[in-house]
Amino acid sequence: MRFLYYDKIDNIEKGKSITGVKTFTLSEEFFRKHFKKQALVPGIIYIEAMAQLLGWLIIYSHNFKLSAVMSLVEDVTVPPELRPGFRAEIHGEIISTSRRDSLGKAWITVDGETVASMNRIIYSHVHKVNSEDLSALFYYYSGIRVNHGA
């Protein structure tokens, strides 16, 4: 299993917002145990999807000079009984960011309808990073072409 809960990034605006896509397929490993008679997406996967995408926005906004690790989530709603076969749009926004930490919010829509939301997420920043490695991962994971002019 690859612990990646987005497939691509569609839009990213430094210091502001990010939008990405995650398709939920029956081939995900976790469906082998979640559950035997019904395939239901585990609720925490939506939290991870929102956290991963917004995390990249923070890293990108700080020019890959730091990494962001989730330290608190509040006021979260996830759909407990969705089966795979849908395309989720993940949206994230930075509310504030400093050298030390970031605050943001995120939500997920399916066919235009909001199915999950996280009204408050705080990230702690980690400064011991290899910027080149982080940047290379970002462009590979996001599907965004490297634009040296940006």
* Contact status: 73 vs another protein (CB under 8 A): yes
Residue 73 has φ and ψ, to the nearest 5°, of -130, 145
Is the preceding peptide bond at 86 cis, omega within 30 degrees of 0? no
* Contact status: 71 vs another protein (CB under 8 A): yes
* Contact status: 145 vs another protein (CB under 8 A): no
Interface stretch with another protein, choices 19-27, 34-42, 83-91, 103-111 (CB under 8 A): 34-42
Interface stretch with another protein, choices 18-26, 33-41, 92-100, 105-113 (CB under 8 A): 33-41
Strands 86-97 and 67-77: unpaired
Evaluate whether 20 touches 53 at the Cβ level (below 8 Å). Answer: yes
CB of 56 to another protein, least distance (A): 12
**Rounded CA gap, 33 and 94, in Å?**
35
Q: Binder to another protein among 133, 139, 143, 146 (CB under 8 A)?
A: 133
* Contact status: 78 vs another protein (CB under 8 A): yes
> Which residues, 6 or more positions from 19, have their beta carbon under 8 angstroms from its beta carbon?
9, 10, 11, 12, 89, 90, 91, 92
CB of 28 to another protein, least distance (A): 9
Comparison of 13 and 74: residue with beta carbon closer to another protein? 74
State the DSSP string of 33-55: TS-SSS----HHHHHHHHHHHHH
CB of 77 to another protein, least distance (A): 5
Active site residue 62: no
Q: Binder to another protein among 11, 16, 25, 35 (CB under 8 A)?
A: 35
